[in-house]
Amino acid sequence: MAVVTRTPSEGVVLKKSTSSSTFTRVSRYVVVRLLTLFATVVIGVYLTIMIANMGGYVDQIMRNEVADRITQSIAANPAMQQLDPNARKKLIQDRIAAEEQRLGLDVPIAIRNFRYLSNALTLRLGRAINMTSDSGSKQVRLIILERLPATLLLMGISQLFLFFSSVFLALNLSRRYGNFWDKLVVALSPTSAVPAWFYGIFLILIFAAVLKVLPFGGMVDSPPPSNSFDYALNLLKHLTLPALSLVLSSFFLSIYNYRTFFLIYSSEDYVEMAKAKGLASRDVERRYILRPTLPNIITNFAFLIITLWTGATITETVFLWPGLGRTLYHAIGLYDIPIIVGSTIIYAYLLAITVFMLDFVYALVDPRVKVGGR
């Protein structure tokens, strides 16, 4: 109705404003969006830092631990026992002060939080407090880089397989829905209420403990095979169970969701129309079902890529897989705030970039969507 009653002059003005200011509209949108996303990252990371030291509570734990450790080590050292009590007391205090300085405990917590924040935002990940990489470095960057391949391998293989197989199978099921396989998937979809590590325990029980065909955990045998073909084979053997448990835990629900999603779209009028026109079912699928669902599929895929980063903490722990998730869990146990913050900031940046990019991708794949448009 609005279109009909609108006077011609209004229409002209409207058209003019949209055509001339696409650039300003997009650039204003980009600036505002980037600023809000950055603010979100800053607040999110600051909150994580606050939680990582429980508002100073963790400092107290670390101080007590340092005092305890140094007092103990000096008391246990026979060379120090000859010292007179005052000198020994001073020595202990000096050592404690030095150790607290090394850990950064001499700076007030509020300042330290901001220092962590600014270092994190500029991606200066710094040095870990207690953890070391396998090569002996304390650089957070190196520790993370060392564990990244393991996580990427496990998560990459399982999640990519999950994604492509479930989209493919879902498309097939939606084509002939109501048949036996379709009903089976619907019936099995509640199995995804069970998390991956839980399937992991069952798989370990069956394949490692009872059948003794696959290893209990770890990434390669120790010592690792020297030639690279055997190494790859060995890796694959260790990878099977954790990857299988990750796939198994979301397989049926994932197919079910995509299938339902495709079915809803394939009951649209324009699909009926295309079928009535006599288009080949492949074309109907590609142009009329897949195309409008593309933004959602892309979103899912993008978020899937980000989750590769976080790893699967508990599955990795159950399978003793040396990935990022397990490292993060260890870091928390050792009060290693730089690693916690480092892992969080990278995740936050990846998330922000993805969310930002998705807006543009939507505009690319869906002509109805305009960047920054209402």
Partner 1 sequence: MNALKTSFRKILYYPSAIVGLLVVFLLVATAVYAMVSIPYDEAIRLWRGGEEVWYQNPKFAPPSWINFFSSKKYAESFSVRTTDGSLVKEVTPGAEGTATLSASYAFNFTYDYYPQDLILYFTSNFVEKQPFVSVEWLTPDGRKIRLTNLALTQKQAYRFSQDDKLKNRLRTEDIIPFLFSDPETGAPVKGQYQLLITGATFEPDSNVDIEFVFHGQVYGLAGTDQSRRDLVIPLLWGAPVALAFGLIASLGTSVLTMIIAALGTWYGGWIDELIQRITEINLVLPFLSILIMIGTFYSRSIWVILGATILLSIFTGAIKSYRSIFIQVKESMYIEAARAYGASSPRIIFLYLIPRMIPLLIPGLVSAVPAFVFLEASLAVLGLGDPVLPTWGKIIQDANSNGALYRGYYYWILEPATLLMITGLGFAMLGFALDRIFNPKLRDI
Determine, following the binding rule CB under 8 A, whether residue 56 of this chain makes contact with partner 1. no
Determine, following the binding rule CB under 8 A, whether residue 113 of this chain makes contact with partner 1. no
Question: For residue 219, how many C-alpha atoms fall within 13 Å in the half-sphere facing its CB?
Answer: 13
Instruction: List the one residue out of 282, 299, 314 whose CA is nearest residue 351.
Output: 299
Residue 53 beta carbon to partner 1: minimum distance, rounded to whole angstroms:
8
For partner 1, give the closer residue by CB, 137 or 191. 191
Count of residues touching partner 1 (by CB under 8 A)? 55
Q: Which of 138, 295, 313, 361 binds partner 1 (CB under 8 A)?
A: 313
Residue 85 beta carbon to partner 1: minimum distance, rounded to whole angstroms:
35
How much is the CA Rg of the chain, to the nearest whole Å?
28
For partner 1, give the closer residue by CB, 119 or 257. 257
Name the token pair of 76: 């246990």
Give the C-alpha separation, 162 to 314, whole Å: 19
Among the residue ranges 81-89, 117-125, 240-248, 258-266, the one whose residues contact partner 1 (CB under 8 A): 258-266
Determine, following the binding rule CB under 8 A, whether residue 192 of this chain makes contact with partner 1. yes
Give the C-alpha separation, 96 to 64, whole Å: 10
Neighbouring CB atoms inside 10 A of 316's CB total 28
Determine, following the binding rule CB under 8 A, whether residue 357 of this chain makes contact with partner 1. no
Q: Which of 36, 77, 81, 118 binds partner 1 (CB under 8 A)?
A: 36
Residue where the block lists tokens 């998705």 = 358
Residue 312 beta carbon to partner 1: minimum distance, rounded to whole angstroms:
10
Q: Which of 11, 108, 190, 218 binds partner 1 (CB under 8 A)?
A: 190
Determine, following the binding rule CB under 8 A, whether residue 201 of this chain makes contact with partner 1. yes
Among the residue ranges 6-14, 44-52, 120-128, 280-288, the one whose residues contact partner 1 (CB under 8 A): 44-52
Give the C-alpha separation, 296 to 302, whole Å: 10
Name the token pair of 134: 């396998």
Q: Which of 246, 258, 340, 342 binds partner 1 (CB under 8 A)?
A: 340
Instruction: List the one residue out of 145, 124, 123 whose CA is nearest residue 133.
Output: 145
Q: Which of 30, 58, 121, 294 binds partner 1 (CB under 8 A)?
A: 58
For residue 139, what is the DSSP state? Answer: B
C-alpha to C-alpha distances, 95 to 67, 87, 98, 181, 227, nearest whole angstrom: 9, 12, 5, 69, 48
Determine, following the binding rule CB under 8 A, whether residue 218 of this chain makes contact with partner 1. no
Determine, following the binding rule CB under 8 A, whether residue 284 of this chain makes contact with partner 1. no
C-alpha to C-alpha distances, 94 to 87, 97, 99, 169, 177, nearest whole angstrom: 10, 5, 9, 67, 75
Determine, following the binding rule CB under 8 A, whether residue 151 of this chain makes contact with partner 1. no
Among the residue ranges 144-152, 223-231, 307-315, 359-367, the one whose residues contact partner 1 (CB under 8 A): 307-315
Residue 282 beta carbon to partner 1: minimum distance, rounded to whole angstroms:
22
Query: For the purposes of burial, counting CB atoms within 10 Å of the CB of 281, is it exposed (0-12), middle (13-18) or buried (19 or more)?
Result: exposed
Name the token pair of 155: 């998560």
Angle at 245 between CA 239 and CA 251, to 5 degrees: 125
* E strands present in the chain: none
Residue 86 beta carbon to partner 1: minimum distance, rounded to whole angstroms:
36
Q: Which of 13, 14, 35, 61 binds partner 1 (CB under 8 A)?
A: 61
Name the token pair of 259: 């299938």
Among the residue ranges 13-21, 51-59, 77-85, 288-296, the one whose residues contact partner 1 (CB under 8 A): 51-59
Q: What is the footprint of partner 1 within residues 63-92 (CB under 8 A)?
A: none
Among the residue ranges 47-55, 109-117, 118-126, 283-291, the one whose residues contact partner 1 (CB under 8 A): 47-55
Give the C-alpha separation, 184 to 175, whole Å: 15
Residue where the block lists tokens 């090569």 = 135
Give the C-alpha separation, 20 to 13, whole Å: 11
Contact footprint for partner 1 (CB under 8 A): 36-37, 40-41, 43-45, 47-48, 51-54, 57-58, 61, 177, 187, 189-195, 197-198, 201-202, 204-205, 208-210, 216, 260, 263-264, 310, 313-314, 317-318, 328-329, 332-333, 335, 340, 343-344, 347-348, 351-352
